[in-house]
Chain A
């Protein structure tokens, strides 16, 4: 089962290669530049030339990266990083920073219709095991509900809680505890 999932994931990334620059966060910037070029009415030839040069230079920046990524095997590194959405201690409401992460996940998800994800809920180890499983569940559900509110079909997202059972780190400090208080996203299809 695990092998099949891995092959499907690899296929997604390989197939996505061709238009992958569409998936990078860079894309909004590029669009704005193009818009600027479009909106500048032809007043002075110089200014037009300046704008064209700007667009060109932007393209120059992007193009080499694009070429490099086509050549390199992208199998190991996902092109879009599914970051963890983090939570406060003993809380499962979506913070502002988590909202930003969920927003970018939502738009990526929206553009990749063939993908399903699993949302894992996790906690730091300071509470008790059973309560932390329930807390992790609330975090996964909260992330899922937020993505649903952004228009993602519920059937594309499953949830599971691991409570404090699968920590990302084990140091006893606030840094590590915060890293563990997370909704973690895994591509499943």
Chain B
């Protein structure tokens, strides 16, 4: 199997050809927004991070920004900084350049204010868009494809319809030489033994360590995870415990051996099934997987969610026919037909696989068509 993608200088292959404008710090958010307002073809993101952060928390924030900017779906990046931030914009730009990405950088203080910075940003943005337009799609093998998997707004049907169908498609991606990311570690608690059985000893140990971290955090806070996860919506949908949710979540990754465990926003080294350490919170998880190189994401949902990524197509799979009917504009595939008895699990799995290939070739799923561009970086320390 192959797809038609944008071959980047660093050997990666994109499924989109975006020009990204990224603030290195929240103080540059509005300047970035103003640049984007003038040039709507640019992809802009805003975030509340980049200053007064230290240690592993700062490193993770920086790694996420650099990874996101270097995702092969991005042709070039403009970093906009303030000038006095912890996440120094030129250092961030160097980090992005080191990953083989084309990057420009401007600063608000260095440009003597916002008016000049916006004008300069528009000028650079227009030039980057002109250059990006010269790139064309060419054939690429599945060894270049990293699929992110996600479930959000889960219900009891997630583990019966959409997640097993996504798992079917995930197995095909792996079979074709591609990579599949399974994430949201809190939603593996209680099901990790089933995944560990499919890993070598070292990888299994890393997986158990991630699970232990989650449970230690709950212990430190003295809380039952059930107060926050499963969420109120999950519970209303019939999910009773985190174990039950996890057992259903696990199906998304399919049935192939677990090859590697990576930190948040880290690009996998192995091909095949990989676990990434992300929270279950949808937007932080999505951002982490895309920063880790995922060029296409499949997102299953029972309660219905509009979430999309600024730079990667996110295909939505409904777990039940009722939500597929009610939120049709936000959803792409109906796996509810499996319990309705109108389609088999492999039939829905094959439809998801086809969607992945077509999305890689440029077809826009609902979230992309509707321009949902969610972005949030997972924080692991306080602001100082």
| A, B: real partners | no
A interface residues with partner B (beta carbon < 8 Å): none
B interface residues with partner A (beta carbon < 8 Å): none
